[in-house]
Amino acid sequence: MASQKTIDLGAQHLPVGSAADQLRALADAAEATGYAFDTYGAGDGLNAFEAKVAAMLGKEAGLFVATGTMAQQSVLRAATWVHGLGSKPKVFVHGTSHLVHQDCLRDGAEQAKKFARHAAVNLPDFDAAALGSFDRVIQLRDVVTAFYVPGAERNAAVVLELPQRMNGARPARRKRRPP
């Protein structure tokens, strides 16, 4: 039987000097390089990063956003504003959307119960409605039902998020044809 070797994973993080020594070294490095703190959305380092990414993508400007959910909300707000959908536009999202539920890996049935409450908190600028079924990806018929039924909402947006992990990205079940 092979002997087991113990590895101390904490050993790679042994302190080098005191906390005060480390902070002094950081202060010295910041002073020597002229480093200045960035604040969200401003600062030379952030501005240079956004400009570099914009240039790489052939765009006039770039915008760093801290989270994917924040980016989605920003794009949704911009798109609904550009298209004049009003002050609290209707948006259709899958019931497991990150825009509504910050943690998409919960029980779908439980999320279904909490959809309206979470949507009001996480999407306060929108009139959010669940689109499709929690246990499958959005289907064309879901969009048709939302937009093309007499009296249905016409001035709205649909958010399609991929992947839809909560429902396992399962397609709709097809009905079997009789033999």
**What secondary structure, in 3-state letters, does the chain show?**
CCCCCCCCHHHHHCCCCCHHHHHHHHHHHHHHHCCCCCECCECHHHHHHHHHHHHHCCCCCCCCCCCHHHHHHHHHHHHHHHCCCCCCCEEEEECCCCCCCCCCCCCHHHHHHHHHHHHHHHCCCCEEEEECCCCCCCCHHHHHHHHHCCCCCCCEEEECCCCCCCCCCCCCCCCCCCC
CB 159 within 8 A of CB 72: yes
- pLDDT at position 72 is 85
- pLDDT at position 56 is 95
Residues contacting residue 88 through CB under 8 Å, at least 6 positions apart: 125, 126, 127
pTM listed for this prediction: 0.60
- pLDDT at position 10 is 66
CA-angle at 49, arms to 43 and 50, nearest 5°: 90
Taking the C-alpha atoms of residue 60 and residue 17, their distance in angstroms, rounded to an integer, is: 46
Taking the C-alpha atoms of residue 47 and residue 136, their distance in angstroms, rounded to an integer, is: 41
Return the structure tokens found at 4: 């087991």
Length of the chain: 179
- pLDDT at position 64 is 86
Per-residue pLDDT of the chain in tens (179 residues, 90 and over written 9): 556 777 676 666 666 788 899 899 989 998 998 887 767 767 788 888 999 999 999 999 988 888 878 888 888 888 888 877 778 888 898 888 888 876 655 566 677 788 888 888 888 888 888 888 887 888 899 988 887 766 655 667 888 877 665 655 555 555 556 65
Taking the C-alpha atoms of residue 127 and residue 100, their distance in angstroms, rounded to an integer, is: 11
- pLDDT at position 1 is 54
Taking the C-alpha atoms of residue 163 and residue 166, their distance in angstroms, rounded to an integer, is: 9
- pLDDT at position 51 is 94
Amino acid letter for position 26: L
